[in-house]
Amino acid sequence: MHLLEKRDRVLTLPALEDRLVLLDEEIQEAQDDVSNLLRRYKKESRDVEQLQKESLSAFLLRLVGKYEDKLEKKQLEEINAKLAYDCAATHLDNLTQEKHELASRILALKSEEKTLNSELENRRAKITQQLTEPQGIRYAELENKRSVIISQITKLEEALRVATLADSTAQEIAASLDRAEGWATFDIFVSGILVHMAKYSHIDDAEKNFHILSSRLRELMYELRDIDNLSIPSLNEISSTQRTIDFWFNNIFTSLSVREKIQDNSQEISQLLITLSDIKAALESKLKVYEDSYTHNKRYEEELLLSI
């Protein structure tokens, strides 16, 4: 590998190490969230189990006709608690995986840095003896600018990577919701267990990806904060806990309600896809500017070294 290329790879280390430190903080917060949400979910589950038992309170509620309403309310609370826990657990898994991959990259770059430093020390001793003062000043200026450029390119590439993943997940959700809406419409007119199962199968697929999307949007919002002079559209996190699209009765009214909720989610995802497209375009445009600056900087530096 060319000396300049090896140096460029090593220059990404500070940005990656900063990200690793912040990842540790995010993981700690995520672990706390998971623990708290798991306790909440277990509590809600116990409440449902208790209500389903033939306790005195359940008996009295049944007598006054409030048992089913009470049970349904508790089941909804249990589902919301489970959705919140699943979302937090998915976010924690993603952060842990990202930390593992990032730590491996840093370890490899550390090893490369040692080799580079040894080579640079020998080269620097020789160049220092040959450089005149104006050349030395110019070389230092190019080095400093190059470091800033590479740091920004690294941040932009990371943000673009996460934006692309979020966009891919959102497209999968859109496809699942589109299929679910088709079955939901069919269910209104031709109700049956097979239609019902097909509809909820696609809803389940969308729900699983919503957990992943929520985690990736949080990561994207973090990455975008580190990028200088970038104008981006507003981006809001989609929370799985605010969307409960499951029902326990299969009749014309709930079928209509399910389809309406599917359509609401589809509209939300459509708007998000537009926003993500704008963000990706802004990142790609910004990245192109820095890549051009990098190319010019590298050419000037090589010309300077070759002129010695």
Looking at the structure, tell me whether residues 55 and 97 fall in a common domain. Answer: yes
Q: Evaluate if residue 63 carries a pLDDT over 90.
A: no
Looking at 130, 145, 177, the residue that finishes a domain is 130
Q: Evaluate if residue 247 carries a pLDDT over 80.
A: no
- What pLDDT is attached to residue 44? 81
CATH number of the domain where residue 125 is located: 1.10.287
- What pLDDT is attached to residue 235? 59
* Crossing angle for the helix pair 193-225 and 252-307, to the nearest 10 degrees: 30
Give how many domains the chain has, as a whole number. 2
Looking at the structure, tell me whether residues 163 and 200 fall in a common domain. Answer: yes
pTM above the 0.85 mark? no
Q: pLDDT (tens digit, 9 = 90+) per residue, 9-37?
A: 888 888 889 889 989 988 999 999 899 98
- Taking Cα atoms as reference points, which of 262, 154, 164 lies closest to residue 206? 262
Looking at the structure, tell me whether residues 71 and 60 fall in a common domain. Answer: yes
Looking at the chain, the whole-number percentage of residues with pLDDT higher than 70 is 68
Looking at the structure, tell me whether residues 86 and 154 fall in a common domain. Answer: no
Looking at the structure, tell me whether residues 190 and 237 fall in a common domain. Answer: yes
Distance CA 250, CA 157 (A): 48
Q: Evaluate if residue 112 carries a pLDDT over 80.
A: yes
Looking at the structure, tell me whether residues 156 and 56 fall in a common domain. Answer: no
Looking at the structure, tell me whether residues 164 and 229 fall in a common domain. Answer: yes
- What pLDDT is attached to residue 248? 37
- What pLDDT is attached to residue 1? 52
Q: Which residue has the higher pLDDT, 59 or 137?
A: 137
- Angle 245-246-249 from CA coordinates, rounded to 5°: 130
Looking at the structure, tell me whether residues 197 and 212 fall in a common domain. Answer: yes
Looking at the structure, tell me whether residues 139 and 94 fall in a common domain. Answer: no
Q: Which domain holds residue 177?
A: 133-308
